[in-house]
């Protein structure tokens, strides 16, 4: 399984796509956080709320782009046939690809620690609420893993990369934003079933059992769905 994780990790960072996505990430985050109207400097508080409010929307687009390489690209390029003959189970292959994508999403977050340092230096007394910052990073990592799982299951229903991207994007949006949209249209509170509510809860620096169980539960559900779907490729 380690070889699968390493393959996905190295393949992303050695491609023009990976470099392009990284540059796009830091340009967009930099503009949104420090330059555009309503930026952190105008906010007036030493916290990263603005940054973490934008990051999920970037991941909503970035994760489907990352995930189409895991299965749809392999099928389209016929390289999945080589993976099938590896002496490891389909479960380990699936987990390896998911963890490889998750490792990529974690690595691209590391340079953003520079923002934490910058905000700390810009604060009046040089202090920062690290509990909230830590909670926000934990929340974004859990959200990244969940987005990867959702997009992976969606992409397994097609061999076309373009279709896989659209399916992944739509599926993530449904779990992220649709419950809030339903509440605004009809008087039915569906927000507790949405990712955004539980992401916001952990992002406040308070890791409650309900939020943690929600993320564990939804990841186990999509892990089960994904492994059942990919097992059919090995029959």
- Give the pair of three-digit tokens for residue 37: 């109207």
Helix pair 49-67, 90-107: axis angle to 10 deg: 140
Contact 123, 45 (CB under 8 A): no
Mean of pLDDT values over 220-231: 88
Rg (CA), the chain: 19
Q: Report the C-alpha gap between 165 and 151 in whole angstroms.
A: 8
The lowest-confidence range among 88-102, 126-140, 182-196, 215-229 is 182-196
How confident is residue 21, by pLDDT bands cut at 50, 70 and 90? Answer: confident
Q: Report the C-alpha gap between 199 and 212 in whole angstroms.
A: 10
Contact 151, 222 (CB under 8 A): no
Mean of pLDDT values over 158-183: 83
Q: Report the C-alpha gap between 189 and 230 in whole angstroms.
A: 35
- Give the pair of three-digit tokens for residue 67: 């995930």
Q: How high is the pLDDT of residue 187?
A: 65
Residues 6+ apart with CB under 8 A from 183: 189, 190, 191
Q: What is the pTM of this model?
A: 0.86
Q: Give the pLDDT confidence of 109-139 residue by residue, as tens digits.
A: 888 888 777 777 776 665 677 788 888 889 9
* Domain ranges across the chain: 2-234
Q: How high is the pLDDT of residue 81?
A: 61
Question: Mean pLDDT across the chain, nearest whole number?
Answer: 79
Q: Give the pLDDT confidence of 23-48 residue by residue, as tens digits.
A: 877 787 777 777 766 666 666 565 67
Terminal CA-CA length for the chain: 20
Residue 57 has pLDDT above 60, yes or no: yes
Cβ atoms within 10 Å of 9's Cβ, excluding its own: 18
Mean of pLDDT values over 70-92: 69
Q: Report the C-alpha gap between 130 and 47 in whole angstroms.
A: 9
Mean of pLDDT values over 208-218: 90
């Amino acid at each position: 399984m380690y070889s699968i994780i390493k393959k996905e990790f190295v393949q992303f960072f050695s491609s023009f796509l990976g470099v392009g996505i990284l540059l796009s990430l830091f340009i967009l985050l930099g503009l949104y956080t420090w330059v555009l109207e309503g930026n952190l400097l105008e906010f007036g508080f030493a916290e990263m709320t603005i940054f973490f409010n934008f990051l999920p929307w970037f991941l909503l687009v970035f994760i489907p782009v990352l995930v189409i390489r895991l299965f749809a690209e392999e099928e389209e390029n016929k390289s999945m046939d080589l993976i099938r003959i590896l002496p490891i189970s389909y479960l380990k292959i699936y987990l390896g690809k998911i963890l490889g994508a998750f490792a990529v999403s974690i690595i691209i977050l590391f340079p953003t620690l520079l923002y934490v340092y910058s905000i700390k230096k810009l604060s009046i007394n040089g202090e920062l609420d690290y509990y909230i910052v830590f909670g926000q990073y934990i929340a974004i990592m859990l959200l990244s893993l969940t987005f990867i799982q959702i997009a992976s299951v969606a992409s397994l229903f097609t061999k076309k990369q373009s279709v896989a991207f659209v399916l992944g994007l739509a599926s993530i949006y449904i779990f992220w934003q649709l419950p809030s949209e339903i509440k605004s249209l009809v008087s039915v509170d569906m927000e507790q079933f949405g990712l955004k509510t539980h992401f916001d809860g952990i992002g406040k620096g308070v890791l409650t059992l309900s939020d943690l169980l929600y993320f564990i539960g939804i990841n186990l559900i999509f892990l089960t769905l994904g492994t059942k779907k990919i097992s059919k490729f090995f029959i």
